[in-house]
Chain A
């Protein structure tokens, strides 16, 4: 779909943000007070929001958050239902929110939301995801890469997936691309000018400049990489990587497309009522594939390391036609052993080519 393109003045963004905060609950990128230079997605308190600084953050480009914005729709820990031991199950979800607005999402994370939409919509669809995701509105924003980004390799650098409105900072303000009625509604009450060819060209230049600044790249396309993983024995790379990996699960917890989860019950202190919740799962933890009786189908670290690559680049690629890596670089940034997903992938590709 060709979006309508408008120019939004820089000075009008704070006004818009105030307007959005008045009408809806808003989740956006916030600066960590305890760790300058790090950002996180959270609810923005309308009573206490510094919209000028938020607008400035969006205009100047903030560094990718540690935890991806998927948590807006798939909370790190969410109640599935409450129960009482004597009575019937009470399907009550305290964390249910009214339709909300998620703002400041980078292109790689937009692509990730779209991948999760696909995975969670695969029959039978995941109810809790759909309940939050369907009524939500998403505003994307273009970004500047750091040394871990490799979105160009995953073809997500210019993604506008899952997005209602997309903003690119240019000289005359923001180039605002409208992708849905909901996106159009967001601009109501603000005077915007139709974008001129020069503005559109500037938006494209922003993207090209960003792409040119990316230093990492995968040495194979998604299809070729999937084929390599499917057909070549790469045990030695899994073993070498496993020797460094601590199985801490940081890669899973920061991945914008990981969607596995654990389900657990918790009892209230009265020991009769409680709730069942689900929380993010991690295939890198030993317990993930533990079976009754103590057997484990991925009891070796190299098996768990390999599974992560197979799942991202082969299994889900085969199932949904897309690699489930967006090139955001979060797993490499977060890795406690400094394992870089691009380095390992390129090592796999290199050895596979040598073996042929």
Chain B
């Protein structure tokens, strides 16, 4: 695929954009609305941007707003590192740097007419919200839209307003679960890949989009395969700490693949023989 702009050398210099709005989405999670560089952001759902807070650094974020919205875009930020914590301190009117969109998004043009099964674990919905919005705006292009969302606790649910919308809309089938319920939670309890076991769907006509921590990838893949979904029809979006975003700095390599340039969206058939895709040493705690 020829990506326009690739013939131009990268100088790693971001464009400056304004923070339009900051929303407290969940404890430790904010959504920042940013103006589009040069007034227009054209992207494919699943692509990412490199966001700079000058003095703190640059970090990658998947765009979480709909591609049909082009004069501004949203990113969902968990305060886990230096740049994300700095982003949490910003207010409307502050400026940040942006490079992108970068990478390859979800292959929607290849799945026209198919049923789509979205699986989000943890903060995975930050990545899937954009592609779900895109599909909902082009309903006639797809069959069923099944959405599974799993978080640790009810307080960690992201995009509550969207979840409500998807729940109410007859065209989207929302299944939610939490690992640990609290008094407010009336719904399902358990891990998100188990939803795949319980939903009745046509495996031959279904394409899966999965975003979550490694354990979700592993079990979601297994459950989809057990149901008869083909390997090439199961897609993951991987997260790595890109520093260049264009296949140079080496930090995101999954075996021979550059997540930033070859992905971040990959099919299971591309990843299954690559040991570094979902294996990770977890921190002690």
Interface residues of A in 123-150 (CB under 8 A from B): 123-128, 130
Binds A, one of B131-139, B141-149, B225-233, B243-251: B243-251
> Is the CB–CB distance between B250 and A126 below 8 Å?
no
Tell yes or no: A212 within 8 A of B by CB: no
- Chain B's closest residue to A267 (CB) is B55
> Is the CB–CB distance between B7 and A123 below 8 Å?
yes
Binary interface encoding of chain A residues 112-128 relative to chain B, with 1 for a CB under 8 A from any of its CBs, else 0: 00000001101111111
> Is the CB–CB distance between B249 and A261 below 8 Å?
yes
| Chain B: minimal CB distance from A271 (Å) | 8
Binds A, one of B8-16, B111-119, B198-206: B8-16
Beyond known contacts A127-B10, A261-B244, A310-B255: 10 more, CB 8 A cutoff: A81-B11, A89-B54, A89-B97, A259-B250, A261-B249, A274-B55, A291-B241, A292-B80, A296-B280, A310-B256
Binary interface encoding of chain B residues 211-234 relative to chain A, with 1 for a CB under 8 A from any of its CBs, else 0: 001100000000000000000000
B251: contacting residue among A260, A294, A311, A315, CB under 8 A: A260
Interface residues of A in 77-126 (CB under 8 A from B): 80-81, 83, 85, 88-89, 91, 119-120, 122-126
Q: How would you classify the secondary structure of chain A's contact residues: helix, strand, loop or mixed?
A: mixed
Complex CA gap A88/B98 in Å reads 12
B249: contacting residue among A262, A298, A299, CB under 8 A: A262
Q: If the complex has contacts A263-B57, A297-B280, are A126 and B9 also in contact, measured as CB distance less than 8 A?
A: yes
> Is the CB–CB distance between B251 and A274 below 8 Å?
no
Q: If the complex has contacts A260-B249, A292-B241, A297-B279, are A127 and B11 also in contact, measured as CB distance less than 8 A?
A: yes
Interface residues of B in 80-108 (CB under 8 A from A): 80-81, 84, 97
Q: Which of B9, B15, B246, B282 has the most CB of A within 10 A?
A: B9
Complex CA gap A288/B240 in Å reads 11
Tell yes or no: A283 within 8 A of B by CB: yes
> Is the CB–CB distance between B251 and A81 below 8 Å?
no
> Is the CB–CB distance between A292 and B81 below 8 Å?
yes
A299: contacting residue among B14, B84, B281, CB under 8 A: B281
A127: contacting residue among B6, B12, B14, B16, CB under 8 A: B12
Q: Enumerate chain A residues within 8 angstroms of B74, measured Cβ to Cβ.
A: none
Tell yes or no: A290 within 8 A of B by CB: yes
> Is the CB–CB distance between B80 and A80 below 8 Å?
no
B→A interface (CB under 8 Å): 5-16, 52, 54-59, 78, 80-81, 84, 97, 213-214, 239-241, 243-244, 246-251, 253-256, 276, 279-283, 285
| Chain B: minimal CB distance from A277 (Å) | 10
- Chain A's closest residue to B277 (CB) is A297
Q: If the complex has contacts A127-B9, A260-B251, are A265 and B57 also in contact, measured as CB distance less than 8 A?
A: yes
> Is the CB–CB distance between B251 and A89 below 8 Å?
no
Q: Which of B14, B239, B243, B248 has the most CB of A within 10 A?
A: B248
- Chain A's closest residue to B82 (CB) is A265
Q: Enumerate chain B residues within 8 angstroms of A314, measured Cβ to Cβ.
A: 256
| Chain B: minimal CB distance from A85 (Å) | 6
Q: If the complex has contacts A124-B246, A292-B241, are A311 and B55 also in contact, measured as CB distance less than 8 A?
A: no
| Chain A: minimal CB distance from B279 (Å) | 7
Complex CA gap A310/B214 in Å reads 23
Q: Enumerate chain B residues within 8 angstroms of A263, measured Cβ to Cβ.
A: 12, 57-58, 243-244, 249
| Chain A: minimal CB distance from B82 (Å) | 9
> Is the CB–CB distance between B6 and A124 below 8 Å?
yes
A295: contacting residue among B7, B59, B281, CB under 8 A: B281
Complex CA gap A126/B15 in Å reads 18
Tell yes or no: A318 within 8 A of B by CB: yes
> Is the CB–CB distance between A83 and B54 below 8 Å?
yes
* Interface size class of chain A, counting residues whose CB lies under 8 Å from the partner chain: 35 or more
Binary interface encoding of chain A residues 238-261 relative to chain B, with 1 for a CB under 8 A from any of its CBs, else 0: 000000000000000000000111
Complex CA gap A347/B244 in Å reads 35
Q: Enumerate chain B residues within 8 angstroms of A262, measured Cβ to Cβ.
A: 243, 249, 251
Complex CA gap A210/B183 in Å reads 79
Binary interface encoding of chain A residues 219-242 relative to chain B, with 1 for a CB under 8 A from any of its CBs, else 0: 000000000000000000000000
Q: Enumerate chain B residues within 8 angstroms of A260, measured Cβ to Cβ.
A: 248-251
Complex CA gap A85/B55 in Å reads 8
Q: If the complex has contacts A260-B249, A297-B276, are A124 and B8 also in contact, measured as CB distance less than 8 A?
A: yes
> Is the CB–CB distance between A311 and B253 below 8 Å?
yes
Q: Enumerate chain B residues within 8 angstroms of A315, measured Cβ to Cβ.
A: 253, 255-256
Complex CA gap A18/B131 in Å reads 63
Complex CA gap A80/B50 in Å reads 15
Q: Which of A259, A291, A297, A319 has the most CB of B within 10 A?
A: A297
Cβ contacts A to B, 23 pairs, < 8 Å: A88-B16, A124-B6, A124-B246, A127-B11, A128-B12, A259-B250, A260-B248, A260-B251, A271-B55, A274-B54, A278-B249, A281-B249, A291-B241, A292-B239, A295-B213, A295-B280, A296-B280, A298-B276, A300-B281, A311-B250, A314-B256, A315-B253, A315-B255
- Chain A's closest residue to B249 (CB) is A261
B248: contacting residue among A120, A267, A292, A298, CB under 8 A: A120
Complex CA gap A292/B78 in Å reads 9
